[in-house]
A and B are shown apart, each in its own frame.
Chain A
Amino acid sequence: MNYPVVKGAAYALVQANSMLLHQGSTQITERLKNEQSEHLKALPEHLRSFEDAVCYPPNQAYIGNITPDQLKEIPHPWYENPIAGASRDGKYGEIMPEDEFFGLMKMVDSFDLVVLEESFQAAVKEKLQSHPILKDIKEITKLDSTAHSADEIQKLVAEHNAQPLYFAGKLVGCVKKAHEFDEALSSEVMLGNLANKASAVLVLKQLLAKTGLNPEQVDYIIECSEEACGDMNQRGGGNFAKAIGEICGCINATGSDTRSFCAGPAHALVEAAALVQSGIYSNVVVLGGGCTAKLGMNSRDHVKKGMPALEDMLGAFAVHIGENDGVNPVIRTDAIGRHKIGSGASPQAVMTAIVTDPLDKIGYKITDIDRYAPELQNPEITEPAGAGNVPMANFKMISALAVKRGDIQKADLMKAVDSFGMPGFAPTQGHIPSGVPFIGHARDMILEGKIERAMIIGKGSLFLGRLTNLFDGVSMIMEKNSGVVATDTGFDQEQLRKMIAEAMREFAKSFRE
């Protein structure tokens, strides 16, 4: 069987302090209740500089400059142990400051909703013109014209419900609403969707640049963030995927959006693998941009505990799934884990469905997987908010299942966690932490012969949408490529062997009768 392979992965982060303050849902709610709240007053003091965000160890792990194993060696709190001299450019992508990002938002905005102040626009244009991979986007010309004065922007914000964009304490732009009455096209929604689109464009450009994939070779794009794009008559109409591909020159691609809360990326990867293995498409890109609403989601707790507001990063990722090349790690499409509607909701039922059921299908034990990548939220963000160390809880659950199945002794529970686990290093951006941040590292580790296989696990809280109490989860195994590429002879040799054996058995049986 020719499994599809993971040909490359790219990751990007955008520091977004202005959007944290003004468009993060926690701050929006706080402002609605009490504009003079203590939290809103204290929060600006807790914002980090761009340099601090770049040197923050988990962010360096996210863009591939250090491995999760190296991150494990850095003592907590990580925000007090920065990596000196760290670069915004990473092996898998980059970390972008907010001013450049506002410029990028304007570049990808097809309906002139992003308005920038004249001198600010000129300054970011200069920066983006020297950006190694964004300078060739033809829409960069949008930064040549339609700049506004500071007064005009102030008026749009004050009188027309535009969303303000601040940089270095100054109002430098805004995002206008796209319809007078339609809430699905409000300025708040449009800002979220444009930020999502822009960060996805950034990461897709990174994927193309880092892997050498020609945009014209991309056949299909699956976008799997948690935003909804549409209007009042079809609020989730779509299509982010094509909008993103359009900017990146993927002229031969089509695409669509896949949703399942934080499990979206795992579903999208399975769909991509299926499309490639079936031969429908040769090159599929799975990607997701960042979520502005989640910026500073737990900042109340971070402020209370005297920490920096660490949820200042928009996260984005892109993965290229292609046909078997005999080199890159394969996706074991014969061992996809899924939480079924009838699986049950207890943690045990969920983990059995996602982790052990697929292993049983191909005769593997829990210990045959070298690394598990479940929800990889950075614990430094979640622990102060009372949500615990999410990846650690998942590793312990997998280990406990291994004990229950007799794969390991109970005394070795934590030893197993140490061997197949890793520290969480992803920003709390919903779909972003769910397994996918490890794909780039896993691919490298498999190619370098450090590990044989890894399991990528996506989990989603569907009950948040108030349509069902169900949970969700999907997993897939990445495995070292055997190096054998089956030639397309029109039939499956294994299948043929089975058919001949079956026929001979029948023949022998007829003699006995």
Chain B
Amino acid sequence: MDLENQARIKDLYDKYGNEELIVVLGGAEPEASGLAAETVATGDPTFAGPLSGVSLGLKAYHIFELKDEIPADVYEEQVGMMEMVLDVDEIVNEVKTYRK
């Protein structure tokens, strides 16, 4: 996960805690999405960024999982094409793993 994004998420965590904060992912790959979810939950597994060894316990959701929360026309315009293209189930399963 991008080091700058790790720092930004850490700042937000410091400000708001993990009760009222979730992370929404837009990754195109199951592995990269899972890695991002893992990073914000238990720490950066690559030990490269500010979240190395830092367990924020944040829950991450892929945008595909939040379809019902978004107005249908907006979802269609913003995500519709990618939903047709990407392996939605695999990505969602991978991201879910880190919320358990």
Chain A interface residues toward B at CB < 8 A: 300, 346-349, 351, 386-388, 393, 396-397, 399-401, 403-404, 410, 413, 466
Beyond contacts A348-B79, A400-B84: 7 other A-B pairs, Cβ-Cβ < 8 A, are A348-B81, A351-B81, A386-B32, A386-B35, A387-B29, A393-B86, A396-B84
The residue on B at minimum CB distance from A29 is B48
CB contacts (< 8 Å) of B82 on chain A: these are 347-348, 397, 400
Chain B interface residues toward A at CB < 8 A: 4, 28-29, 31-32, 35, 46, 77-82, 84-86
A387–B32 touching, CB < 8 Å: yes
Q: How far is the CA of A346 from the CA of B85 in the complex (A)?
A: 14
The residue on A at minimum CB distance from B83 is A400
The distance from the CB of A392 to the nearest CB of chain B, in whole angstroms, is 9
Q: How far is the CA of A456 from the CA of B81 in the complex (A)?
A: 21
B79–A346 touching, CB < 8 Å: yes
Q: How far is the CA of A349 from the CA of B32 in the complex (A)?
A: 23
- Counting chain B CB atoms within 10 Å of each CB, which of A388, A396, A404, A413 scores highest? A388
CB contacts (< 8 Å) of B78 on chain A: these are 346, 348-349
B28–A346 touching, CB < 8 Å: no
The residue on B at minimum CB distance from A392 is B85
A300–B29 touching, CB < 8 Å: no
The distance from the CB of B41 to the nearest CB of chain A, in whole angstroms, is 17
Determine the main DSSP class of A at the interface with B.
Answer: helix
Q: Point out the residue from B29, B31, B81 that lies within 8 Å of A347, measured CB to CB.
A: B81
Determine the main DSSP class of B at the interface with A.
Answer: helix
Q: How far is the CA of A401 from the CA of B79 in the complex (A)?
A: 12
- Counting chain B CB atoms within 10 Å of each CB, which of A347, A399, A404 scores highest? A347
CB contacts (< 8 Å) of A347 on chain B: these are 81-82
Q: How far is the CA of A205 from the CA of B77 in the complex (A)?
A: 47
21 A-B pairs within 8 Å (CB atoms) are namely A300-B46, A346-B77, A346-B78, A347-B81, A348-B77, A348-B78, A348-B80, A348-B81, A386-B35, A387-B29, A387-B32, A388-B32, A393-B86, A396-B85, A397-B81, A399-B85, A400-B84, A403-B84, A404-B81, A404-B84, A410-B84
A400–B85 touching, CB < 8 Å: yes
Q: How far is the CA of A397 from the CA of B85 in the complex (A)?
A: 6
The distance from the CB of A31 to the nearest CB of chain B, in whole angstroms, is 14
CB contacts (< 8 Å) of A404 on chain B: these are 80-81, 84
With A300-B46, A346-B79 in contact, is A386–B85 under 8 Å at CB?
no
The distance from the CB of A402 to the nearest CB of chain B, in whole angstroms, is 10
With A346-B79, A348-B78 in contact, is A393–B85 under 8 Å at CB?
yes
B31–A386 touching, CB < 8 Å: yes
The residue on A at minimum CB distance from B35 is A386
The distance from the CB of A208 to the nearest CB of chain B, in whole angstroms, is 40
With A387-B29, A387-B32, A388-B29 in contact, is A401–B81 under 8 Å at CB?
yes
The distance from the CB of B75 to the nearest CB of chain A, in whole angstroms, is 10
CB contacts (< 8 Å) of A349 on chain B: these are 77-78
Q: How far is the CA of A234 from the CA of B46 in the complex (A)?
A: 36
CB contacts (< 8 Å) of B77 on chain A: these are 346, 348-349
The distance from the CB of A221 to the nearest CB of chain B, in whole angstroms, is 35
The distance from the CB of A220 to the nearest CB of chain B, in whole angstroms, is 37
The distance from the CB of B90 to the nearest CB of chain A, in whole angstroms, is 12
The distance from the CB of A263 to the nearest CB of chain B, in whole angstroms, is 19
Q: Point out the residue from B4, B80, B84 that lies within 8 Å of A413, measured CB to CB.
A: B84
A400–B31 touching, CB < 8 Å: no
Q: How far is the CA of A388 from the CA of B78 in the complex (A)?
A: 21
CB contacts (< 8 Å) of B35 on chain A: these are 386
The residue on B at minimum CB distance from A30 is B48
The residue on B at minimum CB distance from A347 is B82
The residue on B at minimum CB distance from A26 is B48
Q: How far is the CA of A403 from the CA of B77 in the complex (A)?
A: 14
